[in-house]
With several copies, the nearest count.
Chain A
Amino acid sequence: MDLRFTPEEQNFRQEVRSFIAGNLDKETHASMLAGHRPSKEQIVAWQRVLNKKGWATVDWPAEFGGTGWNIIKRHIFREEVQAYPAPEPLAFGVYMVGPVIITFGTEDQKRKFLPRIANLDDWWCQGFSEPGSGSDLASLKAAARRDGDHYIVNGQKTWTTYAQYADWIFCLVRTDPQASKPQEGISFLLIDMKSPGVSLRPIVTVDGGREINEVFFDEVKVPVDNLVGVENRGWDCAKFLLSNERVNTARIGATKERLRRLKKLAAEVQESGRPLIEDQSFAEKLADLEIELKALEITQLRVLANEHKNGKGKPDPASSVLKLRGTELQQRITELTLQAAGPHGLVGENLDAPPGHNEDEIAPEWMRLAAPTYFNTRKVTIYGGSNEIQRNIIAKQILGL
């Protein structure tokens, strides 16, 4: 047991950091630093830079374009990308459907989809939730019936992030309505968003942004070749994917970056001539967050090391701890940032407003973004299996209750 990063690991970190610094578009970086989400174009451009370097899909097995790095290096890489901050490779492709195709897909599927996922030639989105199926995912109703070489898909998905950009959607659909358990009649389908019968309706969120959508399927023809894994066994793919997602949603590197920024801002903001950070109560809240974050960082390393030891594909239920605490910390930082913004945090702004636009004189950009970011970040304890569901998982799968 040695918990220090080795010199080799530290060198690797430097290498990653220098690469990002030397290759990331300055405007993308500035905009993210200010608290904006990267745009579609920025995400695509950066992922292609990474892919060219061979770093777009570092977690994949080497034969499919992975780097073969060990768990620590992969952790360092992800942390550096988040903390710089730079856009992360598109999760729906690289962390979600990609690993599912690698694990459950056919050779043809791998050949057809993986390189395009890596290069973000295809933008993927996720079709899991439905209006009536949130936490109870297995109750989903969108259905696919077999018709020759095709499935005919009907139904609706919702909360689909960035569906407006997407070329493809991976969906859970019901293929056997007669199955004895709801989990058993579900299949995992890949659907071209350009297929006739696919339509979208944007959902505007409380922060004023347009991130999510409803997706409707009306007699959509999907080639049976687009089934991943075994018909009616799509639940296996879903469980595999969701467990991966839990580890990803901790986003510790990104939280570090936000916290570091907040600390800097709190040193600049003054009340009655005294920097906010000199207020013991505020300073202790920041220190508290730093401590919680350190604990979570080490917990994440422990979970990763454990997964590594136990072999891949075996999801560690402790990843629920990462999802839970990770998302809580993300929210906590947005609360404190809003507090730091003070009255000018009331100068709200649409999260999708272009960076650096001309409201600057009313209040600095970070203050204007504080409220919408706080609003928007409420989502993180809801999606990816709500934190209540994560507590169920811990109670049942870890504690055996």
Chain B
Amino acid sequence: MDFDLSDEQRLLRDNVERLAAPTEAKADSPAWSRERWKQFAELGLLALPFAEEDGGLGWGPVETMIVMEAFGKGLVREPYLSTVVIAGGLIRHGCNGAARKELAGRVASGDLVATFAHVEREARHALADVALSARKTNEGFVLDGVKSVVPHGDRADLLFVSARSTGERHEREGISLFCVDAAAKGVTRRAYGLADGTPGAEIRLDNVVVPAGAVVGEPGRALPLIERVTDEAIAALCAEAVGVMNEMCDMTVSYLKTRKQFGRPIGAFQALQHRAADMFIALEQARSMAVYATMMATDPDPAQRSTAVSAAKVTIGRNGRFIGEQAVQLHGGIGMTMEYRLGAYFKRMTAIGMLFGDADHHLRKVTKAGGLELKTG
């Protein structure tokens, strides 16, 4: 066991933090730029998780954690999670041979923005609840249905779409995963801003024809792949959350030191000091669980992996809400305004809490799994 970063990891962290440093300007503009995306590519960030044989850096979850935490601190809006972590994960674990290498290369170069279109209108957080239909034809499949709340679905070039090729809604078997060109005939998308200002879209597939080669992984058996990548995504999201919480705590502490009421900095009031202490505790506990999720996201046992990641999401969801709400409360009115950057962080934290299932959803998962291992060691 070893908590130290290697020299390489330290360098990575410093570089990313510099690139992602929060600026006043950024909090106001939720848009992201292809320009900065190219900078990420130049730094190698977009190649980070891919195997060296596929042209990547072959780095692992710890490096992803480092990047995501810095992105959280800087409120980075670029589609890193969607494209590199999630689509990247589907590519790494789902695609074979030449296809994998080709897609990895296009992501790494910054040419390809990809996202995962999975959530459906009625599904809530249940990953197996897939109704979008995949009808088999001689040449391949015809996809028909609607996906919603697709992060960065507005501008993504490539969509990974989950669909039901056999079986009933809710069944674990019968889900297939497809790689679909966003410009394909029959794909329409309706862009809107998500609650935290990041871009999203509803994506409609009207009899979209895809070749047999568009299937990712095993047809009808995509759920384990989806679960695996979702767990990796949650671990990365936990790291982003820690960055967001960290920044909110820092903002709050410095506001407490500068804002004066009743003739002294409000940070001199003990009740507010204790609140700040509770925020700090919540942050440290969240940080520990993000580390835990990072460590467990690649665990070979899917049950252990999922339970651990869910446990982290519980902590992140709760502590993130606590820190966000208290940060707004301690700032008072100013914390409620668009002009001050705290609000954007608070909204991002709220969105993170909802993405891939809220704290209660994951607590239920942990409970159903019989809890966390209490064995020592």
Complex contact flag A–B (Cβ < 8 Å): yes
- Interface segment out of the listed A53-61, A164-172, A191-199, A264-272: A264-272
Looking at the assembled complex, report how far the CB atom of B201 sits from the nearest CB atom of chain A, in whole angstroms.
9
The interface residues of chain B lying within 8 Å CB-to-CB of A253 are 376
Q: Which residue of B lies closest to A79 (CB)?
A: B376
Q: Is the CB of B376 within 8 A of A391?
A: no
Interface pair B371/A271, CB less than 8 Å apart: no
Question: Which residues 260-308 of A sit at the B interface, judged by CB distance below 8 A?
Answer: 260, 263, 269-273, 279-284, 286-288, 290-299, 301-302, 305-306
Are the C-beta atoms of A271 and B124 separated by less than 8 Å? yes
Alpha-carbon distance A318/B126, docked complex (angstroms)? 38
| Given A136-B261, A294-B289, A279:B376 Cβ within 8 A | no
Contacts of A345 in B (CB 8 A): 195, 354
| Contact across chains for B276 and A395 when beta carbons are under 8 A apart | yes
B295 — which chain A residues lie within 8 A by C-beta? Answer: 3-4
Q: Is the CB of A295 within 8 A of B350?
A: no
Please measure, in the bound complex, the distance between the C-alpha atom of A287 and the C-alpha atom of B206, giving whole angstroms: 43
Give the residues in chain B near A335, CB-CB below 8 Å: 321
CB within 8 Å of B: which A5-29 residues? 5-6, 9-10, 13
> Given that A263-B374, A291-B372, A362-B148 are contacting pairs, would A381 and B329 also be in contact in the complex, using a CB cutoff of 8 Å?
yes
Which chain B residues (346-372) contact chain A, with CB distance < 8 Å?
Answer: 346-347, 350-351, 354-355, 358, 360, 363-364, 366-367, 371-372
B314 on interface, CB distance cutoff 8 Å: yes
Known contacts: A344-B121, A399-B253. The answer to whether A273 contacts B170 by CB under 8 A is yes
**Are A347 and B195 neighbours in the complex by a CB distance under 8 Å?**
yes
B173 CB, min distance to chain A CBs, angstroms: 15
User: For chain A, which range describes its interface: under 10, 10 to 19, 20 to 34, or 35 or more residues?
Assistant: 35 or more
In the complex, which of the residues B260, B274, B325, B339 contacts A395, with contact meaning CB atoms closer than 8 Å? B274
> With A and B bound together, what is the CA distance between A309 and B148 in angstroms?
48
Tell me whether B355 and A346 are in contact (CB under 8 A).
yes
- The segment out of B74-82, B98-106, B215-223, B279-287 that lies at the interface is B279-287
Whether the pair B281, A203 counts as a contact (CB closer than 8 A) is no
- Inter-chain CB contacts under 8 Å: number: 284
A244 interface residue per 8 A CB criterion: no
A2 pairs with B2, CB closer than 8 A: yes
Let me know if A259 is at the binding interface, CB within 8 A.
yes
Q: A204 to B344, alpha carbons, bound, how many Å?
A: 12
Q: Which of A134, A298, A321 contacts B333 (CB 8 A)?
A: A134
The answer to the question of A313 belonging to the interface, with a C-beta cut-off of 8 Å to chain B, is no
Is there contact, CB below 8 Å, between A270 and B195?
A: no
CA distance A80 to B280 in the complex (A): 29
Contact partners of B268 in chain A: CB under 8 A: 401
A318 and B192: CB pair below 8 A?
no
Bound-state CA distance A208–B344 (Å) is 11
Query: What is the CB-to-nearest-CB distance from A227 to chain B, in angstroms, rounded to a whole number?
Result: 27
**Residue of chain A at shortest CB distance from B118:** A343
- Tell me whether B277 and A344 are in contact (CB under 8 A): no
Stretch at the interface among A90-98, A99-107, A371-379: A371-379
B29 at the binding interface (Cβ < 8 Å) = no
* Chain B CB within 10 Å, residue with most, of A6, A318, A321, A398: A321
In the complex, the answer to whether B1 meets A4 with C-beta atoms within 8 Å is yes
Q: How close is A14's CB to chain B, nearest CB, in angstroms?
A: 8
Q: Which residue from chain B places its CB closest to the CB of A75 in the assembled complex?
A: B1
Q: For the complex, is A68 an interface residue (Cβ under 8 Å from B)? A: no
Please report the C-alpha to C-alpha distance between residue A398 and residue B271 in the assembled complex, in whole angstroms: 16
From B3-11, B34-42, B43-51, B228-236, give the one contacting chain A.
B3-11
Residue of B62, B280, B337 near A205 (CB, 8 A) is B337
- B154 sits at the interface (CB 8 A): no
How many chain B residues touch the partner (CB < 8 A)?
93
Residue numbers in B under 8 Å from A398 (CB-CB): 280
Interchain CB contact under 8 A, A1 and B148: no
Min CB–CB distance B267 → chain A (angstroms): 4
Q: Are A391 and B195 in contact (CB under 8 A)?
A: no
Question: Which residues of chain B have C-beta atoms less than 8 A from A386's C-beta?
Answer: 329, 332
Instruction: Provide the bound-state CA to CA distance between A256 and B371, in Å.
Output: 13
Residues 161-199 of chain B: 1 if any A CB is under 8 Å from the residue's CB, otherwise 0? 000000000100000000000000000001011111100
Q: Which residue of A lies closest to B119 (CB)?
A: A343
A153 proximal to B (CB < 8 A): no
Interface check B300, CB cutoff 8 A:
no
> Is A144's CB within 8 Å of the partner chain B?
no
> Are A399 and B291 in contact (CB-based, < 8 A)?
no
B277→A395 contact, CB < 8 A: yes
| B377: Cβ under 8 A from any A Cβ | yes
**Is B257 at the interface (CB under 8 A from chain A)?**
yes
Instruction: Check A391 against B277 for contact (C-beta < 8 Å).
Output: yes
Contact of A299 among B285, B328, B363 (CB under 8 A): B285
7 of the cross-chain contacts (CB-CB < 8 Å) are: A260-B374, A335-B321, A345-B354, A347-B148, A382-B329, A395-B273, A396-B273
- Rank and list the top 7 A-B pairs by shortest CB-CB distance, nearest first: A348-B195, A371-B195, A395-B273, A298-B288, A206-B343, A136-B261, A394-B277
A residues with a Cβ closer than 8 A to B are 1-6, 9-10, 13, 72, 76, 79-80, 83, 129, 132-136, 139, 158-159, 203-206, 208, 212, 253, 256, 259-260, 263, 269-273, 279-284, 286-288, 290-299, 301-302, 305-306, 309, 318, 321, 324-325, 331, 335, 338-339, 342-348, 359, 361-363, 371-372, 374-375, 378-379, 381-383, 386-388, 390-392, 394-396, 398-401
